[in-house]
Chains A and B, each alone.
Chain A
Amino acid sequence: MDTNLIPFLLINLAKVIVVVVIFLMSVAYTVLLERKLVGRIQNRWGPSRVGPFGMLQPLVDGAKLFLKEDLIPEAVYRPLYILAPIIALGCSLMSISVVPFGSDVKWHGVQLFQISDNNIGLLIILGITSIGVYGIALSGWSSNNKYSLLGALRASAQIISYELALGLSLVGVVLRSQSLNLRHIVDVQATHGLLSWNFFGGFQFIAFFIYLMAAYAETNRSPFDLPEAESELTAGYHTEYSSMKFAMFFMAEYGNMITVGCVATLLFFGGWTSPFGSLLPTPHSQILAALLSIFWFVIKVFGFLFLYVWVRGTLPRFRYDQLMGFGWKFLVPVAVANIVVTSFVIGLWLPAQ
């Protein structure tokens, strides 16, 4: 272990820098994607003036948010006021550390397409989601504003209620893959192309829809975005935030969206495996095969972001009591039923392993 320490540290540092830079650029361009798509759904153009097709809009937006006046109201509880957006953005960035982007390529003994390959990757993502609640709860409380506190408590209650459905829906996938390691979960889905993905061949479509709905509620996105609806509690938990701290909450939300898309492709849609499976010949050069796997992964995550924005532009908002009733009284029992049925099928019908 000590002899390989220097290449280990340097390669991991390079991976972290590359992934974080690409992730933050994706967050910025996801905002643009959302504005243009919602614009098209509403029969208008969306941002189209800055650069060709509005492609430079995120840079201009970033500059604007950076240069706005950073106002800290007098009566806020300063340490937590400054800590809360840091927690939110930090948790959003940390979840990308266990997500594998491409096939298993090692250099000097270090995985190239995953920052950290460990046996409990799925639990780490659930744990980081649990810690992310603090960013919202503390921001609302430290703002010393009744509307912020109410918005924050509502948002936190929503998140912790749907965390349960989220976790339970992933158990069916774990039962089929017999492992919590994200790479093993994808490798189980690599056998027959499209048909062996967990959504189709693994029969986890109910779990997928539960996961999708729970994830939309976790990331506070439409149709579950009551905590941040402008017509409701002013702006909810980020009312008192301006400029860079507000930008951090914003980036955290879109970062969580991207992470949800990544986890959904890994667990239900075969990650980086191609849908054609063994019908297409695999390229001989290893570099081309690795790049092809990254290409498939990115296409699928992009599909999920498109779905996110599509749902946002189409569906109306849930009321708070409808939201909580839906999470507890519908999603959790259906998720438990999915676990029971999956375990019966695996235990009684499939051959013993």
Chain B
Amino acid sequence: MHLALFIIFAGLCVAGALNLLLQRHPINSALSLIVVMSSLAVLYLLLGAEFLAAAQVIVYSGAIMVLFTFVIMLLNAGKEVRTHGSKLAYIAGFPGAAALLGLLTYIFLSQKSSFGSARLGEYLATTSDLSRVLFRDLLLPFEVTSILILIAILGAVALARKEH
């Protein structure tokens, strides 16, 4: 049953990612990316990372992609137009990505047994486990990321404001 769940949600991920690649209108790409992120949240749950699954839905699907969707709606982005640069990208893009994929898949599948298998329900990382590491050993990076977010907010507001 674990395998069935994995195959369903991995299939959804790959279908969403391919849809992102193949759709012309950016709003369709944005919606397929939301599907990918929600399916990834389920895959995180299958691997025992329950807080990260919830954080993936709240932060990625529910905030970052909402930001993307707003920008697409406000800028009224239309369907993509094929321009001169895209032919070269087709010649270098697809083969490059295929070569990368082939190499990585070969390495992972040939070493399959040394990675082991994940069983459903073991090694569940609760929120208190994560926070024990985050707030004791890694307190400085945590505080630095909060300053990073503050700087990002200031930068975004300064960049997007209307020039008078």
Question: Which residues of A sit under 8 angstroms from B38, Cβ to Cβ?
Answer: 131
Q: How far is the CA of A123 from the CA of B54 in the complex (A)?
A: 6
Interface SS of B by simple majority = helix
Chain A residues numbered 95-129 whose CB sits less than 8 Å from any CB in chain B: 118-120, 123-124, 126-127, 129
Q: Which of A119, A130, A153, A180 contacts B70 (CB 8 A)?
A: A153
- Interface contact B69-A123, CB-CB below 8 Å: no
Q: Which of B38, B51, B53, B66 has the most CB of A within 10 A?
A: B66
- Interface contact B54-A134, CB-CB below 8 Å: no
Chain A residues numbered 118-148 whose CB sits less than 8 Å from any CB in chain B: 118-120, 123-124, 126-127, 129-131, 133-134, 137-138, 141
Quick check: which of B5-13, B56-64, B94-102 contacts chain A, the rest being far away? B56-64
Query: Scoring B residues 29 to 71 as 1 if CB is less than 8 Å from chain A, else 0, what string do you get?
Result: 0010010001000000000001101110110011100100110
The answer to the question of A80 belonging to the interface, with a C-beta cut-off of 8 Å to chain B, is yes
Q: How far is the CA of A118 from the CA of B62 in the complex (A)?
A: 21
- Interface contact B121-A137, CB-CB below 8 Å: no
The answer to the question of B126 belonging to the interface, with a C-beta cut-off of 8 Å to chain A, is yes
Task: Assess A120 versus B58: contact at CB under 8 Å? Given A2-B1, A137-B66.
Answer: no
- Interface contact B73-A153, CB-CB below 8 Å: yes
Task: Assess A124 versus B54: contact at CB under 8 Å? Given A119-B126, A137-B69.
Answer: yes
Q: Which of A2, A5, A126, A160 contacts B66 (CB 8 A)?
A: A160
Q: How far is the CA of A129 from the CA of B31 in the complex (A)?
A: 17
The answer to the question of B86 belonging to the interface, with a C-beta cut-off of 8 Å to chain A, is no
Question: Which residues of A sit under 8 angstroms from B62, Cβ to Cβ?
Answer: 127, 129-131, 133
The answer to the question of B154 belonging to the interface, with a C-beta cut-off of 8 Å to chain A, is no
Q: Give chain B's interface residue range (CB within 8 Å of chain A).
A: 20 to 34
- Interface contact A80-B27, CB-CB below 8 Å: yes
Interface SS of A by simple majority = helix
Chain A residues numbered 288-313 whose CB sits less than 8 Å from any CB in chain B: none
Question: Which residues of A sit under 8 angstroms from B55, Cβ to Cβ?
Answer: 123
Q: Which of A5, A127, A133, A141 has the most CB of B within 10 A?
A: A127
The answer to the question of B160 belonging to the interface, with a C-beta cut-off of 8 Å to chain A, is no
Task: Assess A134 versus B34: contact at CB under 8 Å? Given A141-B73, A153-B73.
Answer: yes
- Interface contact A130-B63, CB-CB below 8 Å: yes
Output the least CB separation between A340 and chain B (Å): 14
Chain A residues numbered 140-182 whose CB sits less than 8 Å from any CB in chain B: 141, 149, 153, 156, 160, 178, 180
The answer to the question of B127 belonging to the interface, with a C-beta cut-off of 8 Å to chain A, is yes
The answer to the question of B140 belonging to the interface, with a C-beta cut-off of 8 Å to chain A, is no
